[in-house]
Amino acid sequence: MKFLKGLWRVIQPARHYLFKSPFAMVGAYYRYFGDLKKYRAQGGKIVWSDIAPVLYLKNEDAQSGGGHYFYQDIWALRKLRSIAPYVHYDIGSRYDGFVGQATAITKVISIDIRKPSFSLPDFEFQYGDITNLDIPANSIYSVSCLHTLEHIGLGRYGDRINPGGFSDGLLTLQHIIAPGGHLLISFPVGRPRVEFNAQRVLDPTIFTDLLPGMELLEFSVVNDHNEFIANAWAADYINAKYACGLYHFVKKSRT
């Protein structure tokens, strides 16, 4: 049954592209299974029935979302207004939501591996890989990374295959934030799994362990019923199907 479930998930993208661009579809599947092989060769653990192929996205700069994105963007914008930084750094969040809207509040420096095709006042783009940023330690006061870390290291957006990409990215964020600085993160939470190459879903309680240098000020969530719950308890969502955890961290003072 698990094999059939995985097979069904593998063939779903073909329904949309088989008659439109069959040759491109073959190439996309070839790249997908090549990335899957690399991921496993580097020690990445994948359950066959959990895979979720996403094709044709490596060169796109447009992004889209649903309920998670709607609530997370509003949550993060309210936080940004309260923090009121002179300049805010964002890493990998969607341009057509939070990043673009945040420029109405403050200057935004956006770091991504995909260059946007637009320009805005108070918007600056810098090319960068979250796992290897050329930014000094303890130097940034305000950083966001929304619905991004779950993709790092899976190759979906043309990035390098790295099973530990999300944890490397988290440690990079912790490294660059100044003591007393703010970090806003959103991430799919619930039953832990890798839906290769779409995303990861993590236990919502794990982030405080992964970021020992940060203090969690707030956990809010968009639950499985697409409801926003402010100041929630992370442990209540360990068994969620596909919720979105919203985390506000502050960097601890150096001792």
What residue ranges define each of the domains in the chain, with the CATH number in brackets?
Answer: 2-50 (no CATH), 67-251 (3.40.50.150)
The CA–CA distances, whole Å, from 130 to 14, 43, 91, 107, 127 equal: 31, 21, 7, 20, 10
Cα–Cα distance measured from residue 245 to residue 233, given in angstroms and rounded to the nearest whole number: 10
Question: Predicted confidence band at 56 (pLDDT cuts at 50, 70, 90)?
Answer: low
Question: Predicted confidence band at 7 (pLDDT cuts at 50, 70, 90)?
Answer: confident
pLDDT (0 to 100) of residue 18: 67
> What does DSSP say about strands 107-112 and 87-91: parallel, antiparallel, or unpaired?
parallel
Is residue 128 scored above 90 in pLDDT? yes
Mean pLDDT, the chain, integer = 91
Give which of 184, 174, 183, 198 is closest to 246, Cα–Cα: 184
Is residue 57 scored above 80 in pLDDT? no
**Interval 96-120 mean pLDDT:** 96
What is the strand order of the sheet 123-127 is part of? 123-127, 107-112, 87-91, 140-146, 177-189, 243-251, 214-222, 228-229
Question: Predicted confidence band at 255 (pLDDT cuts at 50, 70, 90)?
Answer: very low
The single residue listed with the structure tokens 């619905």 is: 147
Identify the residue with better confidence: 8 or 152. Answer: 152
Is residue 59 scored above 90 in pLDDT? no
Render pLDDT for 170-195 as a digit per residue (tens, 0 to 9).
999 999 999 999 999 999 999 999 99
- 3-state helix, strand and coil shares in percent for the chain, rounded to the nearest 5: 35, 25, 40
Which range is most confident: 18-22, 26-30, 56-60, 165-169? 165-169
Give which of 90, 92, 96 is closest to 108, Cα–Cα: 90
Q: Are 131 and 173 in contact (CB under 8 A)?
A: no
**Interval 35-52 mean pLDDT:** 92
Percentage of the residues of the chain whose pLDDT score is greater than 90: 76
pLDDT (0 to 100) of residue 6: 83
Size (the chain), residues: 255
Omega before residue 197 within 30° of 0, cis? yes
What are 195's strand-pairing partners? 199
Question: Predicted confidence band at 134 (pLDDT cuts at 50, 70, 90)?
Answer: very high
In this prediction the pTM is 0.84
